[in-house]
Amino acid sequence: NDTATTEIYTSLFVGSVDVYKRQDMYSGMTPKALEWQKKIRKFVNDELIPWEVHAEKNDGELPKDIEKKHRDIAISLGLPGMGISKENGGLGLNMFEQMIIWEQFGRVTNALCWCFSEAQDWMEVNFNDFQKENYLKPLLNGTKKECYAITEKGAGSDVDGSIETTAEKKGDQYIINGEKWYVTSANLANFFFLQAKIKSGQNKDKHSLFIIDKDTKGIELIDTPKFSHTYAHHHSIYRFNNVSIPSKNIIGNEGIGMDYTHSWFRHERLGIAARCCGAAERLIDEATIFAKERESFGDKISNYQAIQFMLADCVNELASTRLMLYEICKAHDSNQDVKILHGKCSMIKLLASEMANKIADRAVQIFGGRGYMRENVAERYYRELRVDRIWEGTSEIHRIIIANSLYKRGLKSLIE
């Protein structure tokens, strides 16, 4: 980088050449992305991380005033609309900038970064005027929260083929019947995005996506299972018994619901990858600090080759994963063919989730007995990161997606 550029970056966004050089190792970094990285890192460090242990000891819950403070900060930063155009009340950030933000949020445990709702660009493009007014705007101003009712007992990764929930058109209403599993954040939400198959007519058995207010008659909470992580956001099971909703609550037209779900999947898979990178960075930092302080057999354990090898592998794996994430975000922002992007999002979700799990395991090992205590960040990540190899598509499913993309479009499409 030339001197003039360095001085501009330094004076506007960072404050010192040393910090600038450290943060700008990736050649695609921009002043705007650096600014967001700095803002969100401060939010995470100053406001969220100090409440992790409290959340862990209180079923993921925070005091209401603290919860509100976090939400208000997120809203004041405009985070609910980070990917929505400025014309519609959002920040207009591209995917690279959004994932720089989510990477920083990955540095906190206990889902404390889920303190705001996130409207996504596919909503802005496909919502009708009623939906924009009654659901998109409330998401942006923080007065409503969403949840996704996609998964079913027999339809986990096989979303397309095994969904059994139906939607039947009767006059100006749709009648919804079915059961949805692992509806994340439903306990805190105001409405569902629900995927169902059209029951009859020319679009029979085709997928559609609906918006359903949570207080609609016929919605039954079946169970709220306990999971390994300690989140205030539950993953509940709901049954929809002849739930009647107005036809204006269907998103787009009948039969194209999978298009929206695939768009959501691509966004979420990038988000998971970004948060895994943030988690890995935090784990490496914490394990390194501990290794340089901890003495055993008369020396700092950081001087032992076994520890050095573990940390070196962690650094290499994080650096390579982060580079792939950033490159795929750039491909997204360059409007690469959506079918190629779908394969690339599987690539990074697979790589990042497997990487973060390995680093969490090593961090627990470096901390030793301390790493098995719930108040230790490595222990929490060890539990929390495990699900990233399962939700939004298992690692095995992503390997199939990648292989099929290779067969159909060739290696060049996936690595360039």
List residues with catalytic annotation: 392
**Cα distance between residue 272 and residue 190, in whole Å:** 23
Strands 295-296 and 146-149, bridge-based pairing? unpaired
**Cα distance between residue 380 and residue 24, in whole Å:** 30
Question: Is residue 60 within 8 Å of 231, Cβ to Cβ?
Answer: yes
SS (HEC) of the chain: CCHHHHHHHHHHHHCCHHHHHHHCCCCCCCHHHHHHHHHHHHHHHHHHHHHHHHHHHCCCCCCHHHHHHHHHHHHHCCHHHCCCCHHHCCCCCCHHHHHHHHHHHCCCCCCCCCCCCCCCHHHHHHCCHHHHHHHHHHHHHCCCCEEEECCECCECCCHHHHCCCEEEEECCEEEEEEEEEEEECHHHCCEEEEEEEECCCCCCCCEEEEEEECCCCCEEEEECCCCCCCCCCCEEEEEEEEEEEEHHHECCCCCCHHHHHHHHHHHHHHHHHHHHHHHHHHHHHHHHHHHHHCEECCEEHHHCHHHHHHHHHHHHHHHHHHHHHHHHHHHHHCCCCHHHHHHHHHHHHHHHHHHHHHHHHHHHHHHHHHHHCCCCHHHHHHHHHHHHHCCCCCHHHHHHHHHHHHHHHCHHHHHC
Q: DSSP character for 133? A: I
Question: Is residue 192 within 8 Å of 183, Cβ to Cβ?
Answer: yes
Half-sphere exposure of 201 (CA within 13 A, CB side): 14
Q: Which 3 state secondary structure label does DSSP give 214?
A: coil
Could you tell me which of 277, 165, 229 has the C-alpha nearest to residue 391?
229
How many Å separate Cα 281 from the centre of its chain? 16
